[in-house]
Chains A and B, each alone.
Chain A
Amino acid sequence: MRVVFFIPGFLRQWTEGKSRVELEGRPATVADALTLLWERHPGVRDRVVTEQGSVRPHVNVFVGPESIRFTGGLATPLEGDCEVSIVPAVSGG
């Protein structure tokens, strides 16, 4: 199973400049997939989620075209290859 992450510009200093990070694994949920991401790139974690593990209010995470806010949050299940986009919300800034 392959998970592709799309990384916004602000966070690329923590992904060696990469806008696309591809990882192999079998994550069952979005939380599992994100854990894979910050095992590879630890600096991304605290920028996307708080120290208590919640996605920051003005960060949106999408699986394909769907925001996880409407599909079960971090518990959103993943099946097969997927694309996870981390996007700063329009509400911030």
Chain B
Amino acid sequence: MVATRQITPRDGDVMILVGTTKGAFLLRSNAARKRFELGGPHFAGQSIYSLTLDQRGGNRRLYAGGSSDHFGPVLYTSDDLGKSWSDRERMAVRFPDDAGAALARIWQIVPGREPGKVYCGVEPAALFESNDSGESWSLVRGLWDHPHRPQWQPGGGGLCLHTVIPDAVHPGRVFVAISTGGVYRTDDGGATWQVRNVGVRAEFMPDKHPEFGQCVHKIVQHPTFPERLFLQNHWGLYRSEDAADSWQDIANGVPSDFGFAMTMHPHDPETVYIVPIESDGFRCTPEGKLRVYRTCDAGLSWEPLTRGLPQENALETVLRDGMGADDLNPAGIYFGTRSGKVYGSPDGGASWSVIADGLPPVLCVKAVVIGDPLKVRVPRPAARAKAKAPAKGRVKAKAVAKPKRAKAKSSAKPKSAKAKSSPKPKRAKAKPRATASRAKRKSAGAKKKR
């Protein structure tokens, strides 16, 4: 068995958590994010669909959702940044006897709002919660007993609950996304769940706008604008300004509105990153070009980010959890491909480089700053200052005319006028965690632009 290489992250370092089909890899760098040291593989041979570092309350607990093809899924935890991992005799995340289901995969691990609260999104589609930092888990019955559940259907990756967003401001509110089922929201801590798919199409159904059954690939929310969410669909890019009550098409100038990955900028609630994929039939980057697309105006326009990314013969795929951002300023953006490469940008996407190569197919990428990101000073080489300028004017000039769409789109609504007329969302009054103050302080420049 291959030896596991250990890394030793220190306060102020950036860690990239990379889950692959054959193990987890942990990378570290200092705040410059120029060179990354590669650690791993952890859990060699297991597919790692989910990784999370929870640093609340002065603790540092790493979670890994592993799965041996032979011996089943396991939730691992580490309290020493990956040097050692727990492995319990009895699986902690398990369906109760009367549920009649067996855990197949842990797709998402997300800290909740309350101290010690952690959520797991799993396959078959279900939500688990822990109130003791992952020591014990229980099935969220309100969602499991939802009358829609028997009609949810598996997508290409299985019937999975792959995204969990505990609302940053409203207590008891949680969003989940299910492939295929769509978006559901609870406002009462999980007791009841409302389907929230109005405006999101389902190209693979006779009725393109069913109440539920959409194959939502990812949703993201910025904690300072909790009413606004962005959604990458199985065909379709959307934004909601009313906490997912309705969704508007924002596929303005992307080469394809099919894709999986979507990442929120940590400090700017109008900036989102995606990696368009050509189609569901050919799940590779369009035209052989590996392009991250970024909007800096909440989806009114998208610009391709290509500096340092291959622009020919790059038939890559970035999966739904394959992209992440760190909390430094400027923010680092990272993504991993099915071909085993991990790219990083220390300047919000302006320039990219390969930070790991030759890995097994990448399933998930998370970026975290060890300790308090506000205490970290990012060195700014002269060359980077030039590359960092977002250049908004250039964005629209470069925007491509029409997104590639699926053929059947009779029910698709016109988008540009609607998108442009969308109201500014109300900024949250409460400041969620440290992020609100951080965003206010650090994205002052971005706010002025708007």
Instruction: State the A residues within 8 Å of B (CB).
Output: 10-11, 13-14, 42-43, 45-48, 50-52, 54, 56, 58-59, 88-89, 92-93
Contact = CB atoms under 8 A, between A and B. Distances in A.
Contacts of A11: 71
Interface in B57-97: 68-72, 87-91, 94-95, 97
Contacts of A58: 69-70
A13 B87 contact: yes
Going nearest first, the 3 A-B pairs with the smallest beta carbon separation are A50-B102, A92-B69, A43-B89
Contacts of A50: 72, 102-103
B421 to A, nearest CB: 51
A51 B87 contact: no
B72 A89 contact: no
Given A10-B71, A56-B72, A88-B70, A51 B91 contact: yes
Contacts of A51: 91, 94-95, 97, 102-103
16 contacts: A43-B88, A45-B90, A46-B90, A47-B68, A47-B71, A48-B71, A50-B102, A51-B91, A51-B97, A52-B97, A52-B100, A56-B70, A56-B71, A58-B70, A59-B70, A92-B69
Given A43-B89, A52-B97, A10 B68 contact: yes
Given A14-B89, A46-B90, A52 B70 contact: no
Interface size class of B (residues with CB under 8 A): 10 to 19
Contacts of B70: 10, 56, 58-59, 88-89, 92-93
A43 B91 CA distance: 9
Given A13-B87, A46-B91, A51-B91, A93 B100 contact: no
A45 B102 CA distance: 14
Given A14-B89, A46-B94, A50-B72, 9 more contacts: A46-B89, A47-B68, A47-B71, A50-B102, A51-B94, A51-B102, A56-B72, A59-B71, A92-B70
A93 B102 contact: no
B435 to A, nearest CB: 36
Contacts of A59: 70-71
B45 interface: yes
A11 B72 CA distance: 12
Nearest to B91: A46
B449 to A, nearest CB: 51
A50 B71 CA distance: 9
Contacts of B94: 46, 51
Interface string B94-121: 1101001111000000000000000000
Contact of A93 (B69, B72, B101): B69
Contacts of B101: 52
Nearest to A91: B69
